[in-house]
Structure 1
C-alpha cells in the first residue's frame, strides 16, 4: 500500500507553473526589436507636419515670453505708475511735527501743554550718544553701514514666512521705519514693503544718516501719547533726555518694538526683559562696558507716569490763552508747537493763587467746621493699601489733601495722608473747628480734638507753617486780577479756588454788584463838576420813592448811624452811603453815568441800573472791569486796556504775534506812539488817590496799614446783606482787585464786609507785588495847592485855627484863606469888651 500512488487533491483545473528565474549571473540583455504587425509592412517614423511644428514652437515661445514679460510688465507698471506717486523725500527736510501748544509766563515758566501728542523734537546733536547707541543695539545694529535695506534681515523674514507661513518680522531697518512712519501705512502687504524698500533707498540718497536718525528718534511712538525719545524721557522718568541713566536709555530703546507689550508702567516684568536684552546688545556692540551693563541690569524698573512739568498753576489763564490762539490761528495751533507767552509774572501768579486759597480757608475757619468727608470702618483702617486707594479716589481741590484719622496720641489726632505720609495734628490749630450751624452761627468751642474728630474720619488737611492742619473744601469763591497800571499787562489772574472744581472764570466773566467800589468814580465825577474834597454833604436819613425802584427805598449806612454834614474826603474814607446818594442827586444820574463811561465801564450795564442805587454800586461788573477803572486813578488819568497774551511764537521761535498795548505817556519822548487816551484830568486822579489813601489811613481799609506803605490807596466794597465783598487798590504802577462771595449770591454772614473778606487777600498778594517798588509818597502834579480848612465845615480857615487841617485843591477851585486869623479875632474882641 505504501507504494500505491496517492491521488492528487488539487482541483481539476490545471495550474500553470511560474517560469523559472534565470540565474543571477545570466541576465538577458537582448534588445526589443520592433515586430511588424501581421498583414502590414513595417515603416520608418515620420516627422510631424509643418504646421504642428510651427504651433509647437509658437506655444513654447509664448509660454516662456509670458513668464519673462510678466515681471517686466509689473516692474514697468510700478515704475511708470506707482513709483512717480511715491512722496518726495525732500519733504522730510521740511517736516513739521505734531507738537503740543505750550503756554508760559512772561519769565518762561510752563503753565500747561495742550495737544493730543506729546513731543519734544531735538536736533541730532542734541540727542545724547547713549540714546542713539541704545536704539541701534535694539533696532538696527548695521544702521551706519547699510544703504537703507538690510538684506540679511529681509532674508530672515522671508525664511520665517516660508517655513511658518506667518509675517512676524519684516526685517525693517531704521530707514525703512522712517519711510513707513512718515509716508506709508502700517498694513502688512507686499506692495507696502516694496514701497518701503524703494523709499528707503531714496531717503538714504538724499539725507545723511544723522538726519535719518533724528527723524526716527523724534517720530517714533513710545506709549502714553509720547512721540519721540525726549517726550518719552519726560513721560516715564520726568527728566530731560540728557539726564537719563544707561538703564533708562535702554528701557526707552526697547519700546519701539511694541510700546504696549513692553510698557514699563503696565508690564514691568516684560519691560525689564526687553531692557536687559538692549543692555546686553549694547555690551556686545562695545557701546558699554561689562561693568556698565551689570550696573544697568541690577536696577529695578522704576518708571512712573509723569505729565508735563507744570511750574505755575494758572489754568484760568491757560483757557483764555487757548481760546485766543484758536480764534487767531485755528485748530492747527494745538499741534504745530506754538508757544504762547502770557503777561503773567510767575512769582506773582503763585502768590495770587495762595492768597486766594488762604483767604477762603480763613473764611471757613471763621464760620465753623462742617465735619469729616466720611467715616470708614476699622477693617479698612487696618488695610493701608486699600485705605490709601480710597483716599486717592476721594475728590480734593486746591492745595488740600485727603487724610484718615488712624488714632490719637496724648489726645491729638494721628493721621495717614493720601501721599503715604503720616503726621499728628495739633489741637491748638483746630480750636476754630466748632461745629458749623449757619453763616452766622456755630456751636460751642471745642475743648479737645476728640470733640472734632474720631478714628476713621476722612478729612481734608493742608500744610501751613510747615505743619499739617485741619481744613475743609470751601463753599465760597474768590477772584483776583492784578495789572500794570500803565500798560494793562495782567500780572496775575485767579478765577476761583480751583479751575478743576469750576471752570467759570470769575475774574473776567463773573458780573457781580460792586457795592461801594463804585464810589470813587462818583466822587471823581463830583470833582469834575466843580466840587472839592472839602465839599460837605449831609449824612442824614432819607427816604426815596423812585419809579425805577420798587416801593420805598430807605438806604442807611452800614453802622446804622448818621453823622450830619460830612466832607467828601471823610465820607469816602468811611464809606458813608447817604452822602453818596445825595452826591449823585446833586450832580444828576445822567451826568454820573456819562462820566462812568470814561473808565471803560460798559454803557449797557450802566444804563440798566440808571437810578440812585447806582451810587451804592448796584451795577454789575467783572473784577477785570473794576480793576481797569481803578488803574485810571493809579496812572494819573489814562484808560488802559488789560491784555493777557504778549507773544505767540512758532516751533522755531519765530514771532507770529506781538501785543501792542496802548501805554501811558507822560513825556514828550513817547508822543506819537501807541498812547493810552487821557480820560480824566491828572489833578482829579491825584486828589482821588489821596482820598483813597485815607481809606487805608483811618477808614474802611485801615487793616492795610500793616503793609507800611506810603504809596498805596484803595477802596472797600460791600453789597446788601454782605453778598459780595470787594477791595480794589493800587500804587502808581500796580492795580489789583479782589472779589469774594458765593457763586449763587447769598449772605457771607454778619461782618463779612470788604475790609474783612477781600482786603486780607489783597494785602497778602500786594506785599509781594510791591516788594521791589519804591515806597514813597504820591507825586503831586502842578496846579495843586494846599489850603487849611475846618474839619467840621470844610471851609477855609487860617493856619492857626485849632480845628484846621490841610486839604488839597486845584488852584482854580481853592477857597480863599481868611485874612484875619482866629487869634487876631479873639484879641480884637477882648480889646473891644475891655
Structure 2
C-alpha cells in the first residue's frame, strides 16, 4: 500500500509538473505566436493570367502554379481521399490528435526514428502558413499552439480550404487544383477516384510520390490510400479493387491555354512587369487584352501559311540534323538516343520533328516523339522536294526517297486531314503581322514570327526594318499638305544625288529600270515610282517631311535627313508602321497602339481599365476650324459632351487635314485597283486602301492596308538580312498574307464608300498636264482637289476657274 501510494503521489506530481511545464511553455511561446486572424485575409501566391478580349486564356506567368478553389467546389470524393491519407479525425478533433501524437512519440522512443509525425491538417496549415520546416521540439510546440488557435478562429471548412490551396505538390504546383492541371490537364472535379487518391498521396513526399517523378512510389501510396478509404467505409471493396487497377496516366501538362498567342501574351507580361514589378507574377492579376480570339487564330494561320508558301518556292534545304547510327551499330540500338533528340526538338507551328528509321522505294519510315511511328509516302512531299540552291534557283526534284533522305535524318512532318504524314520544313524566312482598330489603336491581333517555340523575338514590335515604299504614303501626305495636288506633275527621269550621308554619288532607279517622264502624283504613288518620290521630296524639302511625319507616330529625330527617306530607308517596326497607317485609315486622327484593355485583381476587382483617345466621328476636335466644319469646340466642351458610343473616352487628336486624308485614301485605293496591290481585288471590296513595300535586295517585303474598321501590316524577311530572291516583292510575299487575314477580319465590316468631306471638289483634268480639261476633251479624267487648290487654267492655258497661286509655280520649279 505504501508503494502504491508512492506511485500515485509520483504520478500526481509528474502530472502537475507536466501541466506546469506546458503552462510555462505556453506563457513563453504564446506572445510570440503570429496572429491567426491574418489567415482570414491570406493572399495566396497566384500566377498572372492573360486573356483575350473574349475571355480565352492565352498566357499564365508565375513561379508558383496555383488555382485556388473554395471548399464548396472541392469534390467530396477527394475530401475523403485526403482525410484517409492525412487526418481521418479532422472533422472531430480540436486541432490536435492526441492519439496520433502519442503514437508518433512511441515510435520515436522505440525506434529512434521519426515515424508518422502525428500532425493533423490543422497543424500542417499552421506549419505551411506560419512556420519553417525545421525539425525541432520548439517548432512542434508552436505548431500545436497555433493549431489550437486556428481551430478557435476558423471553422473546419475554412481550415480545409487553406490546406487544399497551399500545400506543395511537386513540379511547381501549389494546391490540389493546380496539381490536377499539371499532372492530368484537368480540373480536380473531372478526375477519377484513382487520380484523387494519387494526388492525396503526394503531400507526404512531393518529390518521391508525385506520379511523374515517382510513378511506382506514387502508385504504392495511392493504393494504400484506397485501402484506407475502404476501411473507413468511404468506398466499397469493388470500387477499391477497380481503382487499384487503374494505370498511372499522369504526364506533365502546361497551363491549359485556349490556344497559343505567345507573342501577345509575352508583350502583356512585359507591360505588367513594368507596371507592378515582381508582384505581377504572384498577386493573381487577370489581364484582359484587346486581342480577338478568332482573328488571332486567323492571323497565325495566315502568317504561317504565307511563310510556308514562300519557302516552297525556294526549295528543300534538307534535314535539320543528321543522327546516323554509329559504325557497326544497328539502328534499333539508337532508339534511345533518337528519342532524346526528338524530346529536345520543339514542335514549331504544327510541324513535328521525326527521325528517318528506314528508307524504302516509295516511302520512308519515321520515329516520332513519345515513341510513336509513322511513314511519309513518295507523293506526300518527297517527290516535290526540289533542293534549294540559292535564293534565286533550286535543283531538279529527287529521283527516289534514297536520293533525298538517309536513316538518322531529323526532319519535319505534318499530318493532314486524311491522317497521312507529309514532309515539310520550318521556313528559314520570318514574318510579322499586326492588326489594329484604327479608331482607338487597340491591337486586334499580333504575330511576331514563325513560332514562339522557334524564336521568342517579337518581330511585330522589336524588329526595326526598312519599310521601303510602304513609307511613301506619308511623304505624299506631307506633299499634299504642303500645297501639291494629286495632279501635280513630277518628272520621272534619272537623278544623281551627291550626298556625303549617302556615301558619295547616289543613282536611284525605278523597279525595272524604266523612266516614264512627267507623272502625276496619283499615278506615281499608285505605281510606286521611286524617282518621282525622290524628286518630290527634293521639292518639298527634307525638313518639312521630318516635321510632318511625327504626326503619324514616327520619331523623326532618329532619321538621317537625306533624300533616301523618300524610299523608306529609315527603320521602323511593323507596329509603328501600322500605327501610322491607322491615321490614314481613321480620317486623320492620332491613336496610340495598346494591348491591355483591363486588369482585375485576384478578387475580381478592376484595378485598371484603358481609356484610349478614340476617334469621335461627327465631333469637331480643336484645329478643325475650316469652311463648313461648324462651330469649333474647346477641349473641355469635347470632354463634357455626350457621345452615344463612348461618352467617357477622350477624343483622339486630329493630326491630318481631313481633305488631305481623303485624297491620300483615294490614291491608296487606286494602288489596289490599278497598282502594285492588285492581288487584293480578290476580296471584292471597294473600301480598301493600301501600299506595298520592297527594299533593295530585296531584303524586306511589306504590305499595309486598311478600311475604316481594320488596319493591318504584314512583313516578310530574313533575320540575317539576306535577300528574299529577285522575284519576291511586297505584292508576292507579304500581300498574300494580308489578303488571307483581311478576308476574315473584314467579314463583319460594311463595304461603304468614304464620305466626301466639305471643301473637296471633283473636277475633270487633262491626264497629261494635270490641268483642267478642255470642254469635250475625250481623254479627260476626274481628280479630287482641295477647293483652294483647283487648277485655275486649262490644258490650253486659258483661265477656267478660281484657284490660288502656287500650283503653277510648283510645276515651274520642278521643270
TM over 0.5: yes
For residues 106 and 619 of structure 1, the distance between their equivalents in structure 2, rounded to whole angstroms, comes to 34
The residue aligned with 1:783 is 759
Per-residue CA deviations over 1:707-736 (Å, capped at 9, x if unaligned) read 222221110111112111111111111111
CA contact (8 A) 1:427 1:449 kept: no
Asked if 1:376 is matched to 2:327, the reply is no
The residue aligned with 1:585 is 538
TM-score under structure 1 length normalisation = 0.86
The residue aligned with 2:215 is 268
Moved more, 811-820 or 324-333: 811-820
The residue aligned with 1:311 is 258
Q: How does 1:30-429 map to 2 (within 5 A)?
A: 74-75=21-22, 77-373=24-320, 374=322, 376-377=324-325, 379-380=330-331, 387-394=338-345, 397-407=348-358, 411-418=362-369, 420-427=372-379, 429=381
SS at match of 1:533: coil
Per-residue CA deviations over 1:489-515 (Å, capped at 9, x if unaligned) read 011122222334333222212111111
The residue aligned with 1:560 is 513
1:143–1:347 CA distance, 2 compared to 1 (3 A): same
Q: CA deviation at 1:438?
A: 1.6
The residue aligned with 2:671 is 695
For residues 428 and 563 of structure 1, the distance between their equivalents in structure 2, rounded to whole angstroms, comes to 48
Question: Of 767, 772, 777, which residue of structure 1 is paired with 2:743?
Answer: 767
The residue aligned with 1:437 is 389
The residue aligned with 1:573 is 526
For residues 693 and 783 of structure 1, the distance between their equivalents in structure 2, rounded to whole angstroms, comes to 20
Moved more, 712-721 or 440-449: 440-449
Question: Of 527, 535, 546, which residue of structure 1 is paired with 2:480?
Answer: 527
TM-score under structure 2 length normalisation = 0.88
Asked if 1:536 is matched to 2:489, the reply is yes
CA contact (8 A) 1:100 1:117 kept: yes
The residue aligned with 1:595 is 548
Per-residue CA deviations over 1:428-484 (Å, capped at 9, x if unaligned) read 645552222221222224455554334543211234666533222322221221111
For residues 722 and 174 of structure 1, the distance between their equivalents in structure 2, rounded to whole angstroms, comes to 68
CA contact (8 A) 1:247 1:299 kept: yes
SS at match of 1:351: helix
Q: CA deviation at 1:758?
A: 1.3
Q: CA deviation at 1:183?
A: 1.2
CA contact (8 A) 1:381 1:387 kept: no
Question: Of 461, 464, 479, which residue of structure 2 is paired with 1:511?
Answer: 464
Moved more, 706-715 or 785-794: 785-794
The residue aligned with 1:46 is none
Asked if 1:457 is matched to 2:404, the reply is no
Question: Of 696, 714, 732, which residue of structure 2 is paired with 1:756?
Answer: 732
Per-residue CA deviations over 1:685-728 (Å, capped at 9, x if unaligned) read 12111111111112111111122222211101111121111111
Q: CA deviation at 1:617?
A: 0.7
For residues 758 and 706 of structure 1, the distance between their equivalents in structure 2, rounded to whole angstroms, comes to 15
For residues 310 and 134 of structure 1, the distance between their equivalents in structure 2, rounded to whole angstroms, comes to 29
Q: How does 1:626-705 map to 2 (within 5 A)?
A: 626-668=577-619, 669-670=642-643, 673-705=649-681
The residue aligned with 1:828 is none
For residues 277 and 441 of structure 1, the distance between their equivalents in structure 2, rounded to whole angstroms, comes to 67
Asked if 1:726 is matched to 2:714, the reply is no
For residues 726 and 210 of structure 1, the distance between their equivalents in structure 2, rounded to whole angstroms, comes to 60
Q: CA deviation at 1:523?
A: 0.9
Higher CA-based Rg = 1
Kindly tell me the number of residue pairs found equivalent between the two proteins.
Answer: 757
Per-residue CA deviations over 1:510-547 (Å, capped at 9, x if unaligned) read 11111101110111112112222222211111212234
The residue aligned with 1:610 is 561
Q: CA deviation at 1:91?
A: 0.9
Per-residue CA deviations over 1:795-823 (Å, capped at 9, x if unaligned) read 33258533122222223333469799xxx
1:147–1:67 CA distance, 2 compared to 1 (3 A): closer
Q: CA deviation at 1:790?
A: 3.0
1:261–1:457 CA distance, 2 compared to 1 (3 A): closer
CA contact (8 A) 2:291 2:595 kept: yes
CA contact (8 A) 1:380 1:387 kept: no
1:750–1:404 CA distance, 2 compared to 1 (3 A): same
For residues 598 and 244 of structure 2, the distance between their equivalents in structure 1, rounded to whole angstroms, comes to 47
Moved more, 502-511 or 369-378: 369-378
For residues 391 and 333 of structure 1, the distance between their equivalents in structure 2, rounded to whole angstroms, comes to 34
Q: CA deviation at 1:179?
A: 1.2
Moved more, 186-195 or 64-73: 64-73
For residues 291 and 64 of structure 1, the distance between their equivalents in structure 2, rounded to whole angstroms, comes to 50
For residues 228 and 346 of structure 2, the distance between their equivalents in structure 1, rounded to whole angstroms, comes to 46
For residues 763 and 260 of structure 2, the distance between their equivalents in structure 1, rounded to whole angstroms, comes to 50
CA contact (8 A) 2:63 2:172 kept: yes
For residues 192 and 14 of structure 2, the distance between their equivalents in structure 1, rounded to whole angstroms, comes to 57
Unaligned runs of 5+ in 2: 1-9, 620-641, 797-815
For residues 272 and 69 of structure 1, the distance between their equivalents in structure 2, rounded to whole angstroms, comes to 47
Q: CA deviation at 1:75?
A: 4.4
For residues 799 and 312 of structure 1, the distance between their equivalents in structure 2, rounded to whole angstroms, comes to 63
For residues 174 and 395 of structure 1, the distance between their equivalents in structure 2, rounded to whole angstroms, comes to 42
For residues 699 and 421 of structure 1, the distance between their equivalents in structure 2, rounded to whole angstroms, comes to 50
SS at match of 1:261: helix
CA contact (8 A) 1:623 1:739 kept: yes
For residues 210 and 395 of structure 1, the distance between their equivalents in structure 2, rounded to whole angstroms, comes to 44
1:155–1:80 CA distance, 2 compared to 1 (3 A): closer
CA contact (8 A) 2:362 2:377 kept: no
RMSD: 2.6
Q: How does 1:6-17 map to 2 (within 5 A)?
A: none
Per-residue CA deviations over 1:590-648 (Å, capped at 9, x if unaligned) read 11111111111102223xx2111111111111111111110001000001000111122
Q: CA deviation at 1:589?
A: 1.4
For residues 767 and 490 of structure 1, the distance between their equivalents in structure 2, rounded to whole angstroms, comes to 18
Per-residue CA deviations over 1:54-110 (Å, capped at 9, x if unaligned) read xxxxxxxxx999989976775454333321111111111011111111122111222
1:389–1:295 CA distance, 2 compared to 1 (3 A): same
Asked if 1:715 is matched to 2:672, the reply is no
Asked if 1:795 is matched to 2:795, the reply is no
Per-residue CA deviations over 1:155-194 (Å, capped at 9, x if unaligned) read 1112212211222222111111111111112222222222
